A and B are shown apart, each in its own frame.
Chain A
Amino acid sequence: MTLVLENVELSFDGFCVLNKINLTVETGEFVCLLGPSGCGKTSTLRVCAGLETPKTGRVIVDGHVMTDGHFVLPPEKRKIGFLFQDFALFPHLNVFDNVAFGLKGMAKAKIKERVEEVLKQVQMEKYAPALPHMLSGGQQQRVALARALAPKPDIILLDEPFSGLDSGLRAEIRDETLHVLKTSNVAAVMVTHDPEEAMFMADRIVLMKAGNIVQDGTPVDLYSKPVDHFAASFFGEVNILKGVIKDNKAQTVLGAVDTVGFSDGEKVDVLVRPQNIKLRRLSNDQKERANSHIEAARYLGRESLLHIRLEDPSGETTHIHARIDGQMLPREEEIFTAEMDVESALVFRAS
């Protein structure tokens, strides 16, 4: 069961919220929509579910056109499950009736069977007679998931389903949800603005920014081969070093990085993550080769964060961060030189 968005455009009162979105989700695949607040993640989900009708572009599910800018299939006919950020459990119905809500036109016994089955799947079978307000946040989340899964949708959409939970519970529920979804073999699209959560859950991550898709790929791709500054910095802090191309290499204060597709003399930014900065202790006679000065060092538990001032031969300074394993708090008189892991450095045209 594939879900395809083709050139989907959505605007509210003339303000463009989605700008020609193209997206494909395959059967059983788990895709995360990731991006900063207001970039259009929720809107994308709502378009898929039919809760919002795009101005132009097509939404296709399993080869059937859901909307194409002229015609539209209303949400109730789409068989797409939706898990809302606030869970949206019906307060006047108990857990059983909430889960049974989407099971229409089935025999009573069949409904009971199915509700019990999904409740068991989310380990909430004991709570069938409870009303939503009697449940904790985590329990409500599970009921909402059960309710969305009960009609056996082919696609399930999840809008920041864990953001309402406190951090301890979040890890646990996240894990459970992933297992439930994987055993149900539905295609899932989940929205989050937490990159770590996306890496944890997703087969594929779609990174969005201001109504556009910036990058679409596996978690490894996004982390190690980001397409631009924004994508790189979204998955954790990066240091930016100014550089100039010479002989197909980007020359920086921390050395040269191999590049392709740049011309000589072009200005570039070289991005290095803090954990890819290494420090080498120098002996006293190598003093003049030192390029860095450690301004502060903080022990963070598993690793240490160093604030480093780099100085290039012309006297220009750059402030960078380095993360070093273990406790490494340098002493005053020690002299270091910083080096970067050239392999992992990323080179982009200067912005």
Chain B
Amino acid sequence: MFAYPAKLKKLKTINGWTLFTLISALIIASPVLVVLSHVFMPSGDVWAHLADTVLSRYIYNSIVLLLGVGLGTLVVGTGCAWLVTMCDFPGRKIFEWALLLPLAVPAYVIAYTYTGLLDYAGPVQETLRLVFGWTSARDYWFPEIRSLWGATTMFTLVLYPYVYMLSRAAFLEQSICVLEVSRTLGRTPFQAFKDVAFPLARPAIAAGSALALMETLNDFGTVHFFAVDTFTTGIYRTWFGLGEPTAAAQLGACLLIFIVSLIALERYSRGQAAYHHTTVRYRALRKLQLSKPKQIISFVSCFLPVLLGFILPAGILLNWALATTEWWLNWQFWGFAFNSFILSFVAALLAVILAVLMAYGTRLHPSFWTKLGVRAASIGYAVPGSVLAVGIMLPFAWTDNFIDSWAREYLGISTGLILSGTIVAVVFAYVVRFLSVSFNAIEAGLGKVTKNMDCAARTLGHGPAETLRKVHLPLIRASMFSASILVFVDVMKELPATMIMRPFNFTTLAVRTFELASDEQLAEASSAALAIVIVGIIPVIMISRTIAKSRPGHES
């Protein structure tokens, strides 16, 4: 007979998995906590100075930008989503995924591209001058792309896919029955959209808009390039221009509080509008048959966003890149690409590993604290890169100085900067910012593994870690892969945190794009920008495939 080991474990002591999850969550959330803690720190008259001079402009610009982008993405995103899900017109099938393409283009890239196209020296104005015989800028009026409205347009063009994606999913979920009933009750198709489909999809639309607005607030490259002063550029300038980290952190805290209220508002509206589908019968969506003119209008409405948001900028970039081969057929460029790759790779790897451990930790011991910890660790996605940079650099610099002075005093050597200004800091920033991206993917994957799988493995003699290795990891491989791709691409596109925190002389493709563009070398920046766009297409393909697979009762 089998002799039982007398190795009993003490109960009620905190276990290793929970401890790990909580500590990781605390570390991940620490930059946000640091920033928030500065709210109460005295910063002398810098703050008063800011308030007197630039603060109102920051607030005005940020709010106008948010309103504009919110409205723009809402109209374009839901409009296109409605057209491709409910109506039939030529090219609809292609638009279903093509409308996602602008997601591959970072806002700063599209901003540089359109500037190159539309500013005074660009081909558009040049052609106009040639045709009409104008000789200088005083002879005619042309909209200034480097402006608040220009920035709003740029953001709208690349961020509407968030709204499109989520509202389309919501429309697809709506049973056609509900919509048909409203038609039989005498609504026109448009009224059915306005009175039934739109309200039903409101939570999804709100979530999409919230994502778009968070991206807007995160942006640094576009607003900096267009000289539109927002909180993000303000933080950068206060810190590096004025040399006032505390005030910068306070600006960051303001922005954070604003974002958190935005999220809360979104959550609240979702709670208010938690409709449940009253019918579970999904029938294949019967598309609305449109008249010829309406078909043309629909086609143009869907084509324009794709053209302006992707085809045109990508085409221009390609054109430029082909004209400036000497800028990328050299070792330096590929060195930058390699830097981007390494950073993205390491960050993706860490984010996925951490997400797996934390998600598994909460799965093993779901408690109030682990859930809270995971929540707190996910907030990074809502925190603009510049705010994050402040929250990381302040404690890192402090630690470095502390270690350095200690070493100098006791060891007689200078350790220099160990954390800040090194790859460590940048990668940490990426993990903080993009952990929730990987966490959501991993959690969804783990959710598909039934709890009895864990139990079966445990009763068959495998401990928690071994169960993770032999059961969960093989089963969530696909989720881990897509999680790492998503983080990889996000890091590749990331600009503000990289800009602020990168080590001296360490350049990535995003930074390269920014630097050259800032020097008005737009064509020369194209190769780096194009590389980012090309990599950015990968997740777009992944997302469109997932959406195509998950449509109840819809023709495949």
Contact = CB atoms under 8 A, between A and B. Distances in A.
Interface in A37-77: 46, 49-51, 53, 61-62, 64-65, 67, 69-77
A86 B452 contact: yes
Interface stretch (A87-95, A112-120, A253-261, A295-303): A87-95
Contacts of A76: 458-463, 466
A75 B470 CA distance: 17
A101 interface: yes
A1 interface: yes
A104 interface: yes
A151 interface: yes
B459 A77 contact: no
B8 A84 contact: no
A147 B2 contact: no
A104 B11 contact: no
Contact of A75 (B11, B12, B450, B455): B455
Contacts of B471: 90
A80 interface: yes
B40 interface: no
Interface of A: 1, 46, 49-51, 53, 61-62, 64-65, 67, 69-82, 84-86, 88-92, 101-102, 104, 147-148, 151, 154
A217 to B, nearest CB: 28
Interface string B429-465: 0000000000000000000001011011111111100
A25 B136 CA distance: 98
A51 B460 contact: no
B6 interface: yes
A90 B12 CA distance: 31
Given A88-B452, A90-B471, A92-B475, A65 B459 contact: no
A84 B456 contact: yes
Given A76-B463, A91-B475, A102-B461, A82 B11 contact: no
Given A72-B11, A82-B456, A92-B474, 7 more contacts: A71-B9, A78-B459, A88-B450, A88-B453, A88-B455, A102-B459, A104-B462
A326 to B, nearest CB: 47
B459 A80 contact: yes
Given A73-B9, A104-B461, A79 B4 contact: yes
Contacts, number: 98
Contacts of A49: 455, 459
A75 B4 contact: no
B138 interface: no
B10 interface: yes
A80 B461 CA distance: 9
23 contacts: A46-B455, A49-B455, A51-B455, A51-B458, A69-B11, A70-B11, A70-B12, A71-B10, A71-B11, A73-B8, A76-B462, A76-B466, A77-B5, A78-B4, A78-B459, A79-B461, A88-B453, A90-B453, A91-B475, A101-B460, A101-B470, A102-B459, A104-B461
Contacts of A61: 4
B457 A74 contact: no
Contacts of A64: 4, 6
B78 to A, nearest CB: 39
Contacts of A65: 8
Contacts of A89: 456
Contact of A72 (B8, B455, B462): B8
Contacts of B11: 53, 67, 69-72
B137 interface: no
A136 to B, nearest CB: 19
B280 interface: no
Nearest to A150: B460
Interface of B: 1-2, 4-12, 450, 452-453, 455-463, 466, 470-471, 474-475
Query: What 7 A-B pairs are tightest by C-beta distance, nearest first?
Result: A102-B460, A71-B8, A88-B452, A64-B4, A82-B459, A88-B456, A75-B458
Nearest to B460: A102
A82 B9 CA distance: 22
B528 to A, nearest CB: 41
B1 A1 contact: yes
Nearest to B12: A70
B455 A84 contact: yes
B4 A82 contact: no
A72 B11 CA distance: 6
A72 B13 CA distance: 11
A189 B197 CA distance: 53
Contacts of A77: 4-5, 7, 461
Contacts of A92: 474-475
A51 B365 CA distance: 12
Contacts of B10: 70-71
Contacts of A72: 8-9, 11
Contacts of B460: 76, 101-102, 147-148, 151
A65 B463 CA distance: 19
A72 B9 CA distance: 5
A219 B261 CA distance: 63
B475 A73 contact: no
Nearest to A61: B4
B1 A154 contact: yes
B491 to A, nearest CB: 30
B246 to A, nearest CB: 44
Nearest to B457: A101
Contacts of A84: 452, 455-456
Contacts of A71: 8-11
A350 B463 CA distance: 52
Most chain B CB atoms below 10 A, which of A90, A92, A154: A90
Contacts of B466: 76
Contacts of A79: 2, 4, 461
Nearest to A82: B459
Nearest to A69: B11
A148 B456 CA distance: 9
Contacts of B463: 74, 76
Nearest to B467: A76
Contacts of A69: 11
Contacts of B5: 73, 77
A65 B7 CA distance: 10
A81 B459 contact: yes
